[in-house]
Amino acid sequence: MKIILFGAPGSGKGTQAADLCGRLKIAKISLGDILREEVKKGTGLGKELKGYMDKGLLVPDEVVAKVIEGNLNSKGFVLDGYPRNLNQAKTLDGIFKKNNINYDVFVNIYVDEQTIINRLSKRRVCKQCGAIYHLVNMPPQKEGICDKCAGALIQRDDDKPEVIKKRWEVFQKESKQVLDFYKTQKKFLEVDGCENKEKIFEAITKKIGQ
């Protein structure tokens, strides 16, 4: 099965993508994970990406498109974190056609602004291994310490309330066109992302017949 998973930062799409991949035995294609891994490895692409990031610039759509195309496969996947705007949605459509890939469903995980702020402002990330925690829903066994590697847990700058509000505004502006684009393709599904992760997963699997 080939799934495009869409949602605002903090909607839980990363968690749902991982759980869906486990259930369906298909690949997880997370744009954020791939970009971070390329930078970490110091590949040619990673150095190019780091150059944009160090300057505080967005990675150009054409570079991102190459990354996505290089990781797609026809056997099945959950695509998480792409597309984020209408131009990327149209680019992805072209990539699918070029590689004879027909996606099965576009799933929008809907959440409201307050839910996003509550979730992200309480998120903590391990500085060493990148493991993610939540102070309420998924706290570490020892405060401020990662369960997996004993690294220090930090709050990312983009998880601070004032930054979250800005990210939400940008998402709202860009997401409407993306949602409208996929609604015309008759493969559109939507689930309530304000529920807990188990209920969200149950809703998604029920709607996609899995």
Cα 67 → chain centroid: 15
**Tokens standing for 146?**
């990662």
Question: Does residue 119 have an active-site annotation?
Answer: no
Is residue 13 within 8 Å of residue 109, measured between CB atoms?
yes
- Annotated catalytic residue within 127, 167, 187, 197: 167
- Annotated catalytic residue within 2, 28, 119, 123: 123
Inter-residue long-range contacts of 67-75, CB under 8 Å, 24+ positions, other chains counted: 67/31, 67/34, 67/35, 67/38, 68/29, 68/31, 68/92, 68/95, 69/95, 69/98, 69/99, 71/27, 71/29, 71/34, 72/29, 72/99, 72/101, 73/27, 74/99, 74/100, 74/101, 75/26, 75/27
Question: Does residue 13 have an active-site annotation?
Answer: yes
- Annotated catalytic residue within 2, 28, 84, 124: 84
In angstroms, the CA 62 to CA 92 distance is 11
Question: Does residue 84 have an active-site annotation?
Answer: yes
- Annotated catalytic residue within 156, 165, 176, 206: 156
In angstroms, the CA 193 to CA 116 distance is 10
Q: Choose among 58, 56, 57, 54: nearest CA to 31.
A: 58
- Annotated catalytic residue within 13, 28, 119, 124: 13
Q: Which residues are catalytic?
A: 13, 84, 123, 156, 167
